[in-house]
């Protein structure tokens, strides 16, 4: 066309030439694929096997293949996998939204179990996977894979470091993957009513969701400590003192990260309550909530803390206080826009992993036969299976021994689901694997590439196979022995006497003066019903000291008949 | 602290080491400053001189200065100014939101005036500024500024190219700046009621807002054509044919960009209406609206069209059709989250410009005395003043001659405000200036640097001075001769006979068959009341053909008593 020839396509400087064409192409392709994922995910909603993450992964694989064909086998990567993109822009909204939407009561009720799994479980899994990887390297003969120019003692050391790195990478539960599991995630579905949670079976499995996801969050702090330990410690003379030091570091990381998240959340609540942003503009409220949440993550990263833990707790505090201090339209907006951003980020990650899987350079470099690749990846996956089984079953039984009430015990079928649901490895694993194995020296690049390609295989297999099987599996397991499940209501049903007791002692908001009596009896109760008592004490503290300062439900004017009441019941 | 020594800060690979520390620091600083801007902007809300953009600019300048002092005069740029960041991530949400929230009736009522200003006005301004810049270069003696190693004829050519580039850069009205002008922007302020527009004096100036902002949008397409012309044409033998070719290119760009935006908007409306995303999840609706809007911009850039025009029209179509097809909570969410994203992007841009102004490298490189710098920048600003005056007043008077009704005429005080409000130059100008003058050869780098620093001075001066004066100025001008202003209601008040006529001829939705009668009389009416008639014809076409297919108000079930009704009145 003449008009096309007339346009100097190479130079149109006002906007077009400023933008790098390859960037524009990459973004266009990704946004188009994201739209396709959303539409396909919507159409497959009723399907029991597929979900959005598998769709995104497969679509990513297909388009990666198309690009590979078009480019003549050169490269399938339109956008180079970038850890910064992942950790700075995609992960924070996902984790923040998880904290924002989590059922706080369930989460804190199971907090001891979560800590047990997240700390002890990760250490057990780490040790087993590292040991397995070490034996695997011994068996494969790491020398045959490229490291010939090292001394024997050096090779031995590298094997240990590699094994430990693999242990740390694969023992980290992928919290993004856990969230994606359709069956465990309390997705929000607002039709005419505002926050109507789907009643498939998410409502039946809040316990499992909080345990598996919470474990993934806590386990981030454990992983940082383990990784540092691998790098800085000499494993040949490990002693009690070193172990105690590591424990100290973990506690420091855990407490400071959590405290930072809570502090930022409270600051946002206090600021919005004091300054009344809503008086002038809704946008300012929403903007300040988004920015403060993001700030908490970045500050944590700046201080070398666990950004994931920080932003998670910031989300919890924001949903408990800040969210109630803003105007009604801000509430609707934040609730949905956080969920949407998280949803887009998740879909993007899976799409990205899918497209990245056909990274031809890594496959060429790895140089290994299909047999070796398959052997390494199946061994790694087997190690993940064993490593997880090795802590879920024992720890669940220990937890059962401690808990006296039947309702609190973790039955065998639940243990099975906890084991299964934490198996998926996703983008976090790939990002860590790239970070660990791609930047280092060149002499052992074939080993590095082999490890990266094996990681990709494990991720693809676990996401597609485990992901599609989980939903029907949980249905089958939960339906076969369909006992009444542990829901919040059933939990406290037998505790009418307790509630009565608290009422008698002024357990309501206007309790004043007679604090001594419930505290002394409180101790007795703490022994009998620890979770419930802690919850009651917290509620009282919250009502008397926190809410008057930081706002929260009941401490800001609520429009009668507003849909917020229904929403409150779910978030508190 | 012992615990700090224990932490191997240099290597904490799980999250911290993956992130480049300087990136984390830059993001933390920017997010903190953004929060500060929002809080300060909120506190200064009642102040008549300050607004958020000036706050952001000054805060940026101050923090740039602090960084400069801390780094010992090395560099004030934490984040290097990046055109890609600006054009890919910051500009699209701002322009999309402007289209989404614009008062469509006002905008299209003044469409002819907008086109006149956006096309003819830009060309006049471009010619004048280019001529002025050419004479300036001649006077300054460009050779004294670094281009000594060129032939005389080459220098002459470069002067022309430079002058034309400056003309193109400075004749482009900065649509972001126009939006920021607090007094012209219909900010949305939702307290208890949903979309309650502030009644300061934005309600009184919808005409001015639509003209000044609309001109900025249309002028993007003009600028692309002019820029291409500068680069590809030889100005020594310009003839009628070349001018016609340029006009053809402009029309092609304008029509295709607009058509693309409308097509994507309609596609989103049709898709959401057909697939009923809201049935399963609100998040999908919101996500698909965001992604489609962004996609329209990227596709336009990919095809070398005007992304700004495309995304603007996509926003208009989405607010007219798509927005009515989604669930109620999606409506609230999109309305506010688009506004919030745009608000954050705007504040970020001004902060960025402020921090960037102290770019010590450019100042050092420019090598010019303070006198020269000041002379160049004041000349440029004077050229902008003259160039704008040279088209606003004549074109407004031409437009007045064509329009017969008194209400449609642009009075002198309105002309003055149109002239004044379009003076501000902002981030778009800086981005274009960097793009044009920083990437090229090294021999004339001192001229380049001088031009960049002069641009920065002009931007700072125009934003701070014009920005803070505009609000009181408009108040003064509008109040001094306080006639009843041209509002939509007053406009059509005298047209009761017309409304009657249309009712008689079946102007309501259920018009059927008797299409011939109103059309023939419609032509007569078109001559007498062109805008009103076109509006009526469009309404009828919309009701009969478009809305049944693409949805829109009245064609999707509306919950009675919902706040959407109020919102509709403003967006349609």
What residues contact A438, with CB distance under 8 A and at least 6 apart? A448, A452
Q: What is the CA radius of gyration of chain A?
A: 26
What residues contact A493, with CB distance under 8 A and at least 6 apart? none
**Contact flag B8-A301 (C-beta cutoff 8 Å):** no
pLDDT band at A230 (very low <50, low <70, confident <90, very high): low
What residues contact A245, with CB distance under 8 A and at least 6 apart? B6
**What residues in B contact A286, CB-CB < 8 Å?**
336-337, 340
Distance from CA of A229 to the nearest CA of B (A): 9
**What residues in A contact B45, CB-CB < 8 Å?**
280
Distance from CA of B491 to the nearest CA of A (A): 30
Distance from CA of A488 to the nearest CA of B (A): 25
The neighbour count for residue B323, using CB atoms within 10 Å, is 26
Are residues A278 and A326 in contact, defined by beta-carbon separation less than 8 angstroms? yes
pLDDT of residue A48: 63
What residues contact A333, with CB distance under 8 A and at least 6 apart? A282, A286, B332, B333, B335, B336, B337, B340
**Contact flag A282-B189 (C-beta cutoff 8 Å):** yes
- Sign of the Cα pseudo-torsion (B332, B334, B337, B343, in order): negative
Which candidate from A87, A290, A344 shows the least CB-CB separation from B15? Answer: A87
Average pLDDT on A378-393 reads 88
Are residues B306 and B13 in contact, defined by beta-carbon separation less than 8 angstroms? no
Which candidate from A228, A271, A281 shows the least CB-CB separation from B12? Answer: A228
The residues of chain B scoring below 70 in pLDDT are: 1-20, 46-50, 72-81, 141-158, 173-205, 220-221, 224-225, 227-238, 278, 280, 359-368, 404-408, 438-445, 478-531, 554-572
Return the beta strands (E) in A173-252 as ranges.
none
Nearest CA in chain B to A20: B84
What residues contact B91, with CB distance under 8 A and at least 6 apart? B176, B307, B308, B345, B428
The neighbour count for residue B479, using CB atoms within 10 Å, is 9
Are residues A281 and B334 in contact, defined by beta-carbon separation less than 8 angstroms? no
Tokens 């005069």 — which residue? B73
pLDDT at A301 over 80: yes
Nearest CA in chain B to A196: B281
**What residues in B contact A17, CB-CB < 8 Å?**
435
pLDDT of residue B291: 95
Q: What is the DSSP letter of A279?
A: G
The neighbour count for residue B352, using CB atoms within 10 Å, is 26
Q: Which two tokens stand for residue B305?
A: 């069209």
Highest mean pLDDT among A62-71, A387-396, B19-28, B415-424: A387-396
B304 lies within 8 A of chain A by CB: yes
Higher-pLDDT residue of A403 and A189 is A403
**Contact flag B19-A87 (C-beta cutoff 8 Å):** yes
**Contact flag B16-A304 (C-beta cutoff 8 Å):** yes
Q: Tell me the pLDDT tens digit for each residue of B94-129.
A: 889 888 887 787 788 888 888 888 888 888 888 888
B281 lies within 8 A of chain A by CB: yes
**Contact flag B287-A340 (C-beta cutoff 8 Å):** yes
pLDDT of residue A319: 92
Q: Which residues of A140-166 are buried (b: 16+ CB within 10 A; e: fewer)?
A: bebeebbbeeeeeeebeebbbebbbbb
Average pLDDT on A482-489 reads 44
Angle, helices B530-541/B496-504, rounded to nearest 10 degrees: 30
* Model ipTM value: 0.78
Range list of H helices, A357-369: 360-366
pLDDT of residue A34: 92
- Distance between CA A241 and CA A247 in Å, rounded? 10
- Distance between CA B285 and CA B291 in Å, rounded? 10
Which conformational region is residue B193 in: left (phi greater than 0), alpha (psi within -120 to 50 degrees), or beta?
A: beta
Q: Which two tokens stand for residue B412?
A: 């002198």
Q: Which two tokens stand for residue B360?
A: 């010590």
- Distance between CA A51 and CA A37 in Å, rounded? 10
Distance from CA of A2 to the nearest CA of B (A): 10
Instruction: Kindly write down the DSSP assignment for every residue of A410-438, as one continuous string.
Output: --HHHHHHHHHHT----HHHHHHHHHHHH
Percent helix, strand, coil in chain B, to 5, is 75, 0, 25
A224 lies within 8 A of chain B by CB: yes
Residue numbers of B between 418 and 447 with CB closer than 8 Å to A: 431-432, 435-436
| End-to-end alpha carbon distance in chain A | 63
Cα angle B372, B377, B381; round to 5: 150
What residues contact B257, with CB distance under 8 A and at least 6 apart? B221, B300, B305, B306, B307, B309, B310, B313
Distance from CA of B527 to the nearest CA of A (A): 34
Which candidate from B6, B39, B190 shows the least CB-CB separation from A249? Answer: B6
- Distance between CA B249 and CA B221 in Å, rounded? 10
B243 lies within 8 A of chain A by CB: no
CA proximity to A196, closest of A43, A347, A336? A336
**Contact flag A271-B39 (C-beta cutoff 8 Å):** yes
A17 lies within 8 A of chain B by CB: yes
pLDDT of residue A559: 42
What are all long-range contacts of A395-398, with beta carbons under 8 Å and residues at least 24 apart?
Answer: A395/A116, A395/A117, A395/A120, A395/A121, A398/A116
Distance from CA of A46 to the nearest CA of B (A): 10
- Distance between CA B545 and CA B330 in Å, rounded? 25
Higher-pLDDT residue of B429 and A92 is A92
Which candidate from A278, A304, A336 shows the least CB-CB separation from B12? Answer: A304
Nearest CA in chain A to B340: A283
The neighbour count for residue B106, using CB atoms within 10 Å, is 21
Q: Which residues of A76-115 are buried (b: 16+ CB within 10 A; e: fewer)?
A: bbbbebebebbbbebbbbbbbbbbbbbbbbbbbbbbebbe
Q: What is the CA radius of gyration of chain B?
A: 26
CA A76 to centroid of chain Cα atoms: 28
**What residues in B contact A227, CB-CB < 8 Å?**
12-14
pLDDT of residue B318: 93
Q: Which two tokens stand for residue B107?
A: 């905008």
Residue A413's alpha-carbon distances to A399, A420, A466, A475, B199, in angstroms, are 15, 10, 17, 11, 62
B50 lies within 8 A of chain A by CB: no
Range list of H helices, A44-150: 52-70, 83-84, 91-101, 104-109, 111-116, 122-140
- Distance between CA B276 and CA B422 in Å, rounded? 43
**Contact flag A275-B227 (C-beta cutoff 8 Å):** no
Residue B393's alpha-carbon distances to A116, A153, B390, B410, in angstroms, are 76, 85, 7, 10
Mean model confidence pLDDT for chain A: 72
Nearest CA in chain A to B35: A288
**Contact flag A11-B231 (C-beta cutoff 8 Å):** yes
**Contact flag B3-A252 (C-beta cutoff 8 Å):** yes
Percent of chain A beyond pLDDT 90?
Answer: 10
**Contact flag B41-A284 (C-beta cutoff 8 Å):** yes
Nearest CA in chain A to B19: A84
Which candidate from A17, A27, A283 shows the least CB-CB separation from B336? Answer: A283
A371 lies within 8 A of chain B by CB: no
**What residues in A contact B247, CB-CB < 8 Å?**
none
pLDDT of residue A545: 83
A interface test, pick of B281, B326, B560 with most A CB neighbours within 10 Å: B281
Nearest CA in chain A to B343: A283
**What residues in B contact A16, CB-CB < 8 Å?**
224, 301, 304
- Distance between CA A323 and CA A335 in Å, rounded? 9
Are residues A299 and A535 in contact, defined by beta-carbon separation less than 8 angstroms? no
The neighbour count for residue B208, using CB atoms within 10 Å, is 24
The torsion defined by the Cα of A443, A378, A359 and A25, in degrees rounded to 10, comes to -140
**Contact flag A7-B432 (C-beta cutoff 8 Å):** no
Q: Tell me the pLDDT tens digit for each residue of A127-170.
A: 888 888 888 877 776 555 544 444 555 666 667 777 777 777 77
**What residues in A contact B294, CB-CB < 8 Å?**
31
Average pLDDT on A53-73 reads 82
CA A509 to centroid of chain Cα atoms: 35
Are residues A547 and A555 in contact, defined by beta-carbon separation less than 8 angstroms? yes
Which candidate from B191, B287, B436 shows the least CB-CB separation from A13? Answer: B436
pLDDT of residue A310: 92
Higher-pLDDT residue of A344 and B408 is A344
Nearest CA in chain A to B271: A39
Tokens 């064409």 — which residue? A21
pLDDT of residue A501: 45
Higher-pLDDT residue of A222 and A566 is A222
**Contact flag A18-B43 (C-beta cutoff 8 Å):** no
**Contact flag A172-B14 (C-beta cutoff 8 Å):** yes
Q: Which two tokens stand for residue B52?
A: 């958020």
Threshold 0.90, pTM exceeds: no
pLDDT of residue B366: 63
- Sign of the Cα pseudo-torsion (B532, B538, B544, B547, in order): negative
B38 lies within 8 A of chain A by CB: yes
**Contact flag A282-B188 (C-beta cutoff 8 Å):** yes
Which candidate from B16, B41, B435 shows the least CB-CB separation from A301? Answer: B16
**H/E stretch holding B361:** helix B360-366
What residues contact B75, with CB distance under 8 A and at least 6 apart? B67, B68, B359, B360, B361
What residues contact A528, with CB distance under 8 A and at least 6 apart? none
């Amino acid at each position: 066309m003449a008009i096309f020839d007339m346009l100097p396509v190479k130079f149109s400087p006002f906007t077009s030439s400023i933008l790098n064409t390859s960037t524009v192409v990459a973004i266009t392709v990704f946004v188009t694929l994201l739209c396709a994922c959303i539409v396909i995910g919507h159409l497959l909603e009723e399907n029991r096997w597929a979900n959005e993450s598998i769709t995104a992964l497969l679509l990513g694989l297909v388009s990666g293949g198309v690009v590979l064909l078009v480019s003549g086998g050169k490269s399938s990567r339109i956008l180079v996998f970038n850890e910064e993109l992942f950790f700075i822009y995609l992960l924070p909204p996902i984790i923040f939204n998880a904290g924002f939407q989590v059922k706080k009561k369930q989460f804190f009720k199971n907090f001891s179990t979560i800590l047990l799994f997240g700390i002890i479980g990760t250490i057990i899994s780490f040790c087993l996977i590292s040991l397995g990887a070490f034996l695997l390297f011994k068996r494969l003969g790491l020398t045959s894979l490229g490291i010939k120019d090292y001394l024997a003692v050096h090779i031995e050391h590298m094997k240990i470091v590699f094994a430990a790195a693999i242990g740390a990478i694969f023992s980290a539960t992928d919290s993004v993957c856990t969230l994606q599991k359709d069956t465990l995630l309390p997705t929000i579905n607002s039709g005419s009513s505002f926050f109507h949670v789907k009643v498939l079976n998410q409502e039946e499995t809040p316990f499992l969701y909080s345990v598996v996801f919470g474990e993934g969050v806590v386990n981030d702090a454990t992983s940082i400590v383990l990784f540092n330990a691998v790098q800085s410690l000499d494993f040949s003379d490990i002693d009690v003192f070193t172990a105690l030091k590591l424990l100290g570091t973990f506690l420091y990381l855990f407490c400071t990260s959590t405290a930072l998240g809570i502090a930022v959340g409270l600051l946002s609540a206090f600021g919005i309550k004091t300054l009344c942003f809503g008086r002038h503009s809704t946008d300012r409220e929403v903007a300040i909530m988004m920015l403060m949440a993001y700030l908490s993550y970045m500050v944590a990263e700046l201080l070398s803390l666990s950004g994931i833990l920080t932003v998670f707790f910031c989300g919890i505090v924001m949903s408990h206080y800040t969210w109630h201090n803003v105007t009604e339209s801000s509430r609707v907006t934040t609730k949905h826009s956080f969920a949407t951003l998280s949803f887009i980020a998740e879909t993007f990650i899976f799409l990205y992993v899918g497209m990245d899987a056909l990274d031809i350079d890594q496959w060429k470099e790895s140089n290994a036969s299909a047999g070796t690749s398959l052997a390494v990846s199946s061994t790694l996956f087997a190690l993940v299976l064993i490593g997880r089984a090795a802590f879920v079953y024992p720890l669940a039984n220990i937890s059962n021994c401690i808990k006296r009430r039947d309702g609190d015990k973790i039955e065998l079928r639940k243990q099975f689901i906890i084991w299964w649901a934490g198996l998926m490895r996703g983008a976090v694993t790939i990002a860590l694997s790239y970070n660990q194995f791609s930047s280092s020296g060149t002499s052992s690049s074939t080993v590095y590439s082999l490890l990266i390609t094996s990681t990709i295989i494990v991720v693809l297999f676990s996401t597609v196979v485990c992901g599609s099987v989980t939903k029907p599996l949980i249905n089958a397991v939960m339906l076969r022995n369909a006992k009444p499940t542990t829901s919040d209501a059933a939990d406290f049903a037998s505790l009418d006497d307790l509630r009565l007791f608290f009422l008698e002692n002024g357990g309501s908001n206007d309790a004043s003066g007679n604090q001594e009596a419930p505290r002394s009896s409180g101790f007795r109760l703490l022994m009998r019903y620890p979770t419930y008592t802690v919850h009651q004490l917290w509620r009282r503290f919250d009502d008397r000291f926190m809410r008057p300062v930081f706002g929260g439900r009941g401490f800001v004017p609520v429009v009668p008949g507003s849909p917020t009441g229904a929403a409150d019941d779910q978030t508190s």
